[in-house]
Amino acid sequence: MTSTLKVPLVRRSQSDRRQQSESELLRAAAELIVERGMAAATFENIGARAGYSRGLVSQRFGSKQGLIEALIVRLQTRLQDLLADRQLDCANGLEAILGFVDIYLRNLADDGEMRAYFVLMAGAVAEVSDLRGPFAAVHKEVETRLEAMFLRGQAEGVIRQGLNADAAALMVGALLLGLSTQMLVDPGLDLEPIRETSLMTLRVSFSA
């Protein structure tokens, strides 16, 4: 006679359940935004797509601005994780810049949530919305990070002296922003040759 070993059920904490529901709601919102635009991302539609009630969406985010800010934080966190995995802080300044560009462009084509971010940003700019503020803060943070990489590379002797680090950081940011916007206009754009060309051009332009 055999006995069946019973595996005890592991109950998730309230914090775990909350984190999962927020993640699923944000993913549903991003999908709706990419597929049908910001107008389709109503709390009712988001809840239905994620399998939750409209009331839960409202409870989690409070307002449309709260939802957008949560999406921005989610994407920032994911990008930080990708950069940490690449260990860019251990690379010299030039390789760190190229690594940043490489990670960004590799994920841009396949990351629906990243595309949703730029749909939201385009809408905020076009409508002269108060939501421009959070986007401006994110882009300033990226510019500051890139500038620090340029300055580090110059101190290490791998990036040519005389280069304006702030202007160069803004230029790299503008390249990534422009390609992200182009993806909205042409979703079928093949980014791989553009990624390779961008990396080659930036290396030649910045190397000491």
From CA 26, how far away is CA 19, in angstroms rounded? 11
Would the pTM count as exceeding 0.95?
Answer: no
Q: How many residues does the chain have?
A: 208
pLDDT in tens, 25-35: 888 888 888 78
Q: How confident is the model at residue 9 (pLDDT cuts 50, 70, 90)?
A: low
Kindly state the average pLDDT of the residues 184-203: 91
Q: What b-and-e string marks burial along 1-24, b requiring 16 or more CB atoms within 10 Å of the CB?
A: eeeeeeeeeeeeeeeeeeeebbee
CB distance 176 to 117 below 8 Å: no
The alpha carbon of residue 21 and the mean position of all alpha carbons in its chain are separated, in whole angstroms, by 20
What residue ranges define each of the domains in the chain, with the CATH number in brackets? 16-62 (1.10.10), 71-206 (1.10.357.10)
Residue position matching structure tokens 């006995």: 3
From CA 57, how far away is CA 68, in angstroms rounded? 12
From CA 147, how far away is CA 121, in angstroms rounded? 23
Tokens standing for 16?
């775990």
**Residue with more model confidence, 102 or 187:** 102
* Rounded to 5°, angle at Cα 9 from 7 and 11: 155
**Residue with more model confidence, 205 or 19:** 205
Kindly state the average pLDDT of the residues 41-65: 87
Q: How confident is the model at residue 124 (pLDDT cuts 50, 70, 90)?
A: confident
Q: How confident is the model at residue 161 (pLDDT cuts 50, 70, 90)?
A: very high
Residue 128 pLDDT greater than 80, yes or no: no
Kindly state the average pLDDT of the residues 103-113: 78
- The reported pLDDT for the residue numbered 54 is 84
Q: How confident is the model at residue 94 (pLDDT cuts 50, 70, 90)?
A: very high
Give the CA count within 13 Å in the CB-facing half-sphere of 51: 5
From CA 118, how far away is CA 97, in angstroms rounded? 22
Tokens standing for 36?
């049908």
- The reported pLDDT for the residue numbered 57 is 86
CB distance 101 to 172 below 8 Å: yes
